[in-house]
Amino acid sequence: MTHGVIQQLEAYGAYADAVAPAISTDELDLRSAERIPTRTPQRRAFPNWAVAVGAAAAVFILIGGVLWLIGGTGSDVIDEPSPSTTTTLSLNEPAGTWNPILSTTIAREAPAAATCPEGTNPDAPGPIDQARPGEGPWNNQAAVFDTHTGRIVFLNEAGETWTFDVCTNTWHQTTPTGVPGVPHDGERIEGEMVYDVDSDRTIAFGSDSVSVYNANTDEWQRRSTPSGLDLDSQLGAVYDPVSGLILVVNFDGVLMAYDVDTDGWARVGIITEPREVTHNGYTQTLYPPFLVGYVAEVDRLAFLGYENEPFQDDGALVNPRTGTTAPLEHPPVGVEVGFGRFPYATGGDTAYTYRSGVCRLDPVSFDWDCIPNGDTGGPDSVVYDLINDRLVIINNSCCNWPGNKVEDDVWAIDFATGRSIELLDTANTRTETDGS
């Protein structure tokens, strides 16, 4: 049977509609009902369309979601008390101004950085038969480099905490005290983690929650979330070594500062707000750019915008002390943004990201220096290994399309040489389920 491409695509549409028929609201009800017990109580349940509104409201009250529904969001559910009631920062800074709080350092002396033990070879691949975080879904994983322990802290959607030893290239699953607020049964959409160097803590931001991890004691602690602070999707977060604070930019383009020691938040200013633009008679929304790293060489925050042609070159450097913005002179060639979360990291003197290749922002020319996809594939996480001074790529899972090989390996890339090293080979030969 011979058909033209258009006819083949039309037939595929009929097939896909048969395999993936319309979703009914009843179906969503069932899915939601199954998930309610595992969700954090502040969530509201999906309504049962057959139930009277009053009954639905009663359900909301039972799960605590009514607080959100009537606008009184309050604070998130807290498993453990905040470590301090002394808040030196305030979220109620006036809009339209740039809070100078980042010009003053409150950073403590950072604990000593780890080094590799004598006799270890960081370039030697780890044992292939080792346990690794591959058993659960890897969606929305996050990873940071803990300078003090010298290990990568890795959190996956299953809520498992793992560390990766960059000296021996081995995974280790920890058994922490406490539970991170994210990820949680699919609740987390696009959270982030960042390591606070001077406080020696890892902070995980996720759906309406803030969690703090102490790798020295293997302990997670939940923190309160200020009302009005949207920590959900499109979040970007970095550590600011000058102020000693964690900087967070949310989907509304607001830069905020977080002091993990006092659990205090401050609104710093607005990077840019969503705006409408018109090109060739077509109007579209340009969302605020993503915060992808801190460029220590020039003391600037690096941002990337969406790939909205012809606006894909709207990367910028922002002075965190003054709020002044300088658009990147050259388009970030090779860096595709948009289509959701993408990995990024800060390390050494500049920022790194990944989309169609692993890219480093040259802190002198401000060009994105990209290494195209090769053996390393497309990672879900990139982390800068400060011990070995190189970028580590974790997971290498590829796209969502059925039939593609799922991998769970770890690589390192040295931008000075362009050389990639496989730190841990995949042990996984499974393929994604083929929908055909």
**Is 397 one of the binding residues for another protein (CB under 8 A)?**
yes
Give the helix, strand, coil percentages of the chain, each rounded to 5: 10, 30, 60
CA angle 399, 404, 409 (to 5 degrees): 75
Using CB under 8 A as the criterion, what x/- string covers residues 368-387 for binding another protein? Answer: ------------x-------
Residues 267-286 that bind another protein (CB under 8 A): 274, 276, 279-280, 282, 284-285
Candidates 137-145, 259-267, 385-393, 419-427; binding stretch for another protein (CB under 8 A): 137-145
Dig out the tokens for 165 from the structure.
Answer: 């030893």
Residues 79-118 that bind another protein (CB under 8 A): none
Strand runs (DSSP E) across 296-432, as ranges? 300-304, 316-318, 325-327, 344-347, 350-354, 357-361, 368-372, 381-385, 390-395, 409-414, 419-424
Q: Residue 221 Cβ, how far from another protein at the closest point, in Å?
A: 25
- Cβ-count burial 77-89 (b if 16+ within 10 Å, e if not): bebeebeeeeeeb
Torsion angle, alpha carbons of 431, 207, 266, 303, to 10: 30
Cβ proximity to another protein, 274 vs 418, nearer residue: 274
Which position among 3, 108, 330, 419 is part of the footprint of another protein (CB under 8 A)? 3
- Cβ-count burial 9-33 (b if 16+ within 10 Å, e if not): eeeeeeeeeeeeeeeeeeeebeebe
Q: Maximum Cα–Cα distance for the chain, whole Å? A: 75
Q: Which residue has the tokens 């959409």?
A: 189
Cβ proximity to another protein, 121 vs 311, nearer residue: 311
Residues 163-192 that bind another protein (CB under 8 A): 186, 189-190
Q: Applying CB under 8 A, what is the total number of residues that bind another protein? A: 82
Residues 220-249 that bind another protein (CB under 8 A): 230, 232-233
Residues 404-423 that bind another protein (CB under 8 A): 404, 406
Contact residues for 282 (Cβ-Cβ < 8 A; gap 6+): none
Cβ proximity to another protein, 18 vs 416, nearer residue: 18
**Is 131 one of the binding residues for another protein (CB under 8 A)?**
no
Dig out the tokens for 377 from the structure.
Answer: 């594939």
Residues 28-57 that bind another protein (CB under 8 A): 28, 31-32, 43-44, 46-47, 49, 53, 56-57
**Is 8 one of the binding residues for another protein (CB under 8 A)?**
yes
Q: Which residues pair with 369 in a beta bridge?
A: 360
Cβ proximity to another protein, 63 vs 114, nearer residue: 63
Q: Which residue has the tokens 């480099």?
A: 145
**Is 12 one of the binding residues for another protein (CB under 8 A)?**
yes
Q: Residue 408 Cβ, how far from another protein at the closest point, in Å?
A: 9
Ramachandran region of residue 252, left (φ > 0), alpha (ψ -120 to 50) or beta? alpha
Which position among 27, 329, 375, 389 is part of the footprint of another protein (CB under 8 A)? 27
Give the H/E segment covering residue 58: helix 53-63
- Cβ-count burial 391-412 (b if 16+ within 10 Å, e if not): bbbbbbbbeeeeeeebbbbbbb
Cβ proximity to another protein, 92 vs 282, nearer residue: 282
Q: Residue 129 Cβ, how far from another protein at the closest point, in Å?
A: 19
Whether omega before 183 lies within 30 degrees of 0, making that bond cis, reads yes
Candidates 241-249, 297-305, 393-401, 417-425; binding stretch for another protein (CB under 8 A): 393-401
Cβ proximity to another protein, 6 vs 416, nearer residue: 6
Candidates 122-130, 142-150, 384-392, 397-405; binding stretch for another protein (CB under 8 A): 397-405
Q: Residue 92 Cβ, how far from another protein at the closest point, in Å?
A: 21
Q: Which residue has the tokens 């200013």?
A: 269
Candidates 24-32, 112-120, 144-152, 166-174; binding stretch for another protein (CB under 8 A): 24-32
Residues 284-343 that bind another protein (CB under 8 A): 284-285, 306-310, 338-341
Dig out the tokens for 154 from the structure.
Answer: 């890795």
Which position among 71, 94, 96, 119 is part of the footprint of another protein (CB under 8 A)? 71
DSSP assignments along 96-124, one per residue: TS--GGGGS--PPPPPPPP-PPTT--TTS
Contact residues for 66 (Cβ-Cβ < 8 A; gap 6+): 44, 57, 60
Q: Residue 236 Cβ, how far from another protein at the closest point, in Å?
A: 15
Candidates 145-153, 321-329, 392-400, 412-420; binding stretch for another protein (CB under 8 A): 392-400
Q: Residue 4 Cβ, how far from another protein at the closest point, in Å?
A: 7
Q: Residue 5 Cβ, how far from another protein at the closest point, in Å?
A: 5
